[in-house]
Amino acid sequence: MKSSDASRLTLILLFAPFALWIILLIILPQIGVGWLSLREKLGPREYAFGFGNYLDFFREPIYWNTLLRTAWISVLVTILALLIGFPVAWYIAKIARQRSRAALFLMCLIPLWVSDLVRAFGWILLLRETGIVSGMLQWAGLSSGPVELLYNDITVVIGMVYTVVLFMIVPLVSTLDGMDNALLEAGYNLGGSRMTVFRRIVIPYAMPGIVAGCIITFMLAAGSYLTPILLGGKNSMWFTEQIYEQFVTRYNWESGATFGVLLLVFTSAVVWLGLRLTGQNLASTVAKE
């Protein structure tokens, strides 16, 4: 049949770019990194295969401590972003009037389009010893000398929440927007308290948005580079920094690849666990917008 031939042809033509993209830029490179991580360097141009690079990682406490530290700070950032972002999303989706809603939403989005670098730079100017906050504290008489507010964990967390909170708000707003206020009214009419209505109606309804926001936020936090390094300084101990150092400074690609695989496995495991625990799947959460 002629038309089915034509339809096959279009299918093939549409499939080709997808296949080229996903195979050449995603699948094969990931396999390449996996392969490289299993290659051990014995001498110049002499290699063996095995899990030696992974063993080295677990033998060196500084490496796995860095991964653990990256992990818990990222989880902390995700939780804070959810706590800070939820009321904002609720306000935009449920309380603000139609006209101001779009404007508020846009205001949330504008910092999103400014590079991480600019945002981190802004924080540096605010918080460093000669920065604005230090100057204001001295001017107000709250401090007798310059205060260094950079290079500590709290600053790193504040800066990272800043970078990712918008990615939490956007999916939350789009989910909450679809919730009918009648659901809330019904909850109250049936005698539910504020807390009960929130716990039994709002949270289950918003779950896809919460999960999507948490996944994106966590991935961005764990994979971030600029904010922890610029705000945390030399002792920030961030895992992506280790990867960069192995690749570029030490030129030890085998161990850099090992670190890359570990970071990817680790973040994927967290995402998978999050999806499992909440009964969601990747296509229905992340790709929803």
Partner 1 sequence: MNVAAPRSGLMRGLYIGYMLAFFFYLAAPLAAAAIFAFNDSQFPALPWKGFTLNWFFGSTEPQIGLFNDRRLMAGLINSLWIGVIVSALSVVIGTCNAFLFERKSFPFKSALYVLMIVPLVIPGVILGISILVFSSMIANGVSDAFWWEWDFLRPGVLLVILGQLSFLVTITTLVISARLRKFDIALEEAALNLGASRVRVLATVTLPYLAPALFSGFVVAFLVSFENFNTTLMLVGSDAPLTITMYDRMVKVGSTPVLNAVSVFLMIGSGLLALASVFAQRPRRGEG
> Residue 276: exposed, middle, or buried by beta-carbon count in 10 A (0-12, 13-18, 19+)?
exposed
Q: In the range 141-180, which residues lie near partner 1 by CB under 8 A?
A: 162
For residue 88, give both structure tokens.
Answer: 């904002």
Q: How many residues bind partner 1 (CB under 8 A)?
A: 83
255 binds partner 1 (CB under 8 A): no
Binding flag, residue 222, partner 1 (CB under 8 A): yes
Which window, 55-63, 75-83, 147-155, 253-261, contacts partner 1 (CB under 8 A)? 253-261
Q: What is the DSSP string of 168-185?
A: HHHHHHHHHHTS-HHHHH
CB of 60 to partner 1, least distance (A): 19
Site string for partner 1, 223-242 (x = CB under 8 A): xxxx---x---------x--
**Relative orientation angle of helices 203-222 and 253-278, to the nearest 10 degrees:** 180
From the list 181, 190, 234, 251, which residue makes contact with partner 1 (rule: CB under 8 A)?
Answer: 181
Tokens at residue 121, please?
Answer: 């730079």
Burial class (CB in 10 A: 0-12, 13-18, 19+), 154: exposed
> Residue holding tokens 């961005």?
220
Element of type H or E holding 41: strand 39-43
One of 48, 83, 109, 269 touching partner 1 (CB under 8 A): 109
Q: Does the footprint of partner 1 cover residue 83 (CB under 8 A)? A: no
> With respect to partner 1, which residue has the nearer C-beta, 196 or 281?
281
Binding mask 10-29 for partner 1 (x = CB under 8 A): xx-xxx-xx--xx--xx-xx
Please report how close the Cβ of residue 286 comes to partner 1 at its closest, in angstroms. 6
Among 54, 253, 274, 278, binds partner 1 (CB under 8 A): 253
Q: Does 9 bind partner 1 (CB under 8 A)?
A: no
Q: C-beta of 265: minimal distance to partner 1 in Å?
A: 10
**Which run of H or E residues covers position 70?**
helix 61-90
Strand runs labelled E in 50-98: none
Q: Positive or negative CA dihedral for 93, 96, 98, 104?
A: negative
| Binding residue for partner 1, selected from 1, 62, 106, 140, defined by CB under 8 A | 106
Assess 209 for contact with partner 1 (CB under 8 A). no
CA gap 74, 82 in Å, rounded: 12
Question: Which one of residues 80, 86, 119, 156 is an interface residue with partner 1 (CB under 8 A)?
Answer: 119
Residue 103 touching partner 1 (CB under 8 A): no
Which conformational region is residue 150 in: left (phi greater than 0), alpha (psi within -120 to 50 degrees), or beta?
beta
Q: Does residue 88 bind partner 1 (CB under 8 A)?
A: yes
Q: How far apart are CA 258 and CA 246, in angstroms?
A: 10
Residue 220 CB, shortest distance to partner 1, in Å, is 8
